[in-house]
């Protein structure tokens, strides 16, 4: 399973760079939003993975 937010982070960075080159503040803002969305997705995925790992660890100790 890959990083679910990686694509949004990359897309956001690309939009920010394009906006900077073109002088488009709206595109830069959209890029920052996409990047933040990607970071949030990554954090949620990490939290979910950690919770599953704890669940699996506890399951193994009871057996």
Residues 6+ apart with CB under 8 A from 10: 38
- 1 confidence band (pLDDT: 50, 70, 90): very low
Residue 33: CA atoms inside 13 Å, Cβ hemisphere, count? 7
pTM greater than the 0.75 cutoff: no
The average confidence (pLDDT) of the chain is: 88
9-33 average pLDDT score: 97
Which tops the pLDDT comparison, 55 or 10?
Answer: 10
- 61 confidence band (pLDDT: 50, 70, 90): low
Which ranges of the chain does DSSP label H, i.e. alpha helix? Answer: 6-22, 25-62
User: Is pLDDT above 60 for 62?
Assistant: no
């Amino acid at each position: 399973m890959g990083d679910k937010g990686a694509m949004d982070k990359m897309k956001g960075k690309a939009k920010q760079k394009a906006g900077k080159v073109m002088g488009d503040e709206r595109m830069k803002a959209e890029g920052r939003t996409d990047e933040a969305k990607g970071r949030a997705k990554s954090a949620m995925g990490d939290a979910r993975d950690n919770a599953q790992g704890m669940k699996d660890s506890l399951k193994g100790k009871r057996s």
